[in-house]
Amino acid sequence: MKVLVINCGSSSLKYQLIDSESEEVLAKGLCERIGIDGRLVYQKEGCEKEITNAPMPTHKEGIQMVLDALVNDKTGAIKDLSEINAIGHRVVHGGEKFSGSVIVNDDMIQALEECTDLAPLHNPANLIGIRVCQELMPGVPMVGVFDTAFHQTMPPKAYLYGLPYEYYEKYGVRRYGFHGTSHSYVSKELARFLGLDINNCKLIVCHLGNGASVSAVMNGKCVDTSMGMTPLEGLVMGTRSGDIDPAIIEFISKKENLDLEGVMEVLNKKSGVYGLSKGLSSDFRDLGDAAENGNKYAAEALEVFSYHVLKTIGAYAAAMNGVDAIAFTAGIGENDPLVREMVVKNLGYLGVTLDEEKNKVRGKDTKISTEDSKVAVCVIPTNEELAICRETVALLK
């Protein structure tokens, strides 16, 4: 089967056309600046990237351009759109309604609309992607794969907040967790890579990208995760604060004369390692370079980030009463030996020892702990598009 995987954001859209049998990416790219001016990036497997600037007032023009590029005479990856057998959509928030991937139909769309309150920035964009594909590719089966679904196995003690219970009942205020497709994929890959039985092991997955989260996976099921009702909770991230004392919101609002929206903007876009480095960068490459050149704020930002990862690993080892293996994944987890070292060197109490030579690896399945380490620590690259493709095929079979 050829599966078109679509990840639709509010002003951008990433796509990959994947052959589900060979799991080869036939073409990939993104539409950027939708509603502003419009830019299509398209790359056929083994070819150069093509960049086209063209008006994209809405997602519809963007997706139409993607489809045109896929069947283009010269660099198209397929001859005819009928070769696309299915479409897999990444969907951010499925609330409690979706504990797994689902085939897109009217009921699913309605249930998804009901989750919009929980992710007002993301879900509407995902819905637009689904509707436009229905319009442009009528009759092609589609599947929704949710960022939250993998975490739906968490027990109440992990997902309830210490708030009036009515907020949970009335509004669904609880921990949902995100990056679920990645946590699910990486936990399975980690078990496979180490020869562990996924149904009988305790794993911790550290998804460290611009957004970052850790999850505890016991016997193949998520039992806790660091992001919450929204992706703002948990680790210190690129520009998001992660956990803070909730009273800071009122305090800063008064001191800086900001309304709630203004404070939330600071917590989402101006905090994290970006804020800690005094606005230097949210990119760990820049922070690493700056720290090496003596920038104290960049060095501290890296320490705060790593320390939060370290503490969360400790919490999840406690939550599962042990841990067999730990995975590092996503942009930072796969590519930043310094952050990994800052975390793993402090896991001696778990019997972990780091293999410093192996820790130099970037972006491929590798055990970075020594052979005699009691807990295996690995770099496992994530692949959310492939995971969405697999889910789509599994559901349609």
Catalytic sites, residue numbers? 147
Instruction: Give yes or no for residue 211 binding ligand ADP (CB under 6 A).
Output: yes
Is 75 within 8 Å of 50 (Cβ atoms)? yes
45 to 84: interface string for ligand ADP, x by CB under 6 A: ----------------------------------------
Which of 96, 283, 300, 341 binds ligand ADP (CB under 6 A)? It is 283
Query: Of the two residues 65 and 339, which places its CB atom closer to ligand ADP in the complex?
Result: 339
Instruction: Give yes or no for residue 285 binding ligand ADP (CB under 6 A).
Output: yes
- The distance of closest approach from Cβ of residue 382 to ligand ADP in the complex, given in angstroms and rounded to an integer, is 8
Reduced to 3 states (helix: H, G, I; strand: E, B; else coil), residue 34 is coil
- Burial class of 260 by CB neighbour count within 10 A (0 to 12, 13 to 18, 19+): exposed
Query: Of the two residues 330 and 375, which places its CB atom closer to ligand ADP in the complex?
Result: 330
Beta bridge partners of 215: 205, 225
293 to 332: interface string for ligand ADP, x by CB under 6 A: -------------------------------------xxx
Instruction: Give yes or no for residue 210 binding ligand ADP (CB under 6 A).
Output: yes
CA–CA separation, 230 and 177 (whole Å):
7
**Structural tokens at position 208:** 């460290």
Reduced to 3 states (helix: H, G, I; strand: E, B; else coil), residue 378 is strand
Is 371 within 8 Å of 354 (Cβ atoms)? no
Dihedral, CA of residue 318, residue 322, residue 327 and residue 331, to nearest 10: 0
Query: Of the two residues 305 and 316, which places its CB atom closer to ligand ADP in the complex?
Result: 305
Which residue from 101, 116, 115, 128 is spatially nearest to 12, judged by alpha carbons? 128
Q: Output the residue with the shortest Cβ distance to ligand ADP.
A: 331
- The distance of closest approach from Cβ of residue 208 to ligand ADP in the complex, given in angstroms and rounded to an integer, is 8
Is 96 within 8 Å of 122 (Cβ atoms)? no
With a CB cutoff of 8 Å and minimum separation 6, the contacts of 132 are 58, 59, 60, 63
Query: Of the two residues 286 and 355, which places its CB atom closer to ligand ADP in the complex?
Result: 286
The residue written with tokens 């907040």 in the block is 161
How big is the chain, counted in residues?
A: 397
The residue written with tokens 């890296």 in the block is 302
- The distance of closest approach from Cβ of residue 169 to ligand ADP in the complex, given in angstroms and rounded to an integer, is 32
Which of 335, 346, 366, 392 binds ligand ADP (CB under 6 A)? It is 335
Query: Of the two residues 222 and 237, which places its CB atom closer to ligand ADP in the complex?
Result: 237
CA distances from 239 to 89, 166, 232 (A): 26, 32, 10
CA–CA separation, 217 and 224 (whole Å):
7
Stretch that binds ligand ADP, among 4-12, 61-69, 145-153, 277-285 (CB under 6 A): 277-285
235 to 274: interface string for ligand ADP, x by CB under 6 A: ---x------------------------------------
Is 308 within 8 Å of 235 (Cβ atoms)? yes
- The distance of closest approach from Cβ of residue 211 to ligand ADP in the complex, given in angstroms and rounded to an integer, is 4
Which of 32, 189, 224, 336 binds ligand ADP (CB under 6 A)? It is 336
Query: Of the two residues 153 and 210, which places its CB atom closer to ligand ADP in the complex?
Result: 210
8-state DSSP, 29: E
Instruction: Give yes or no for residue 177 binding ligand ADP (CB under 6 A).
Output: no
Instruction: Give yes or no for residue 284 binding ligand ADP (CB under 6 A).
Output: yes
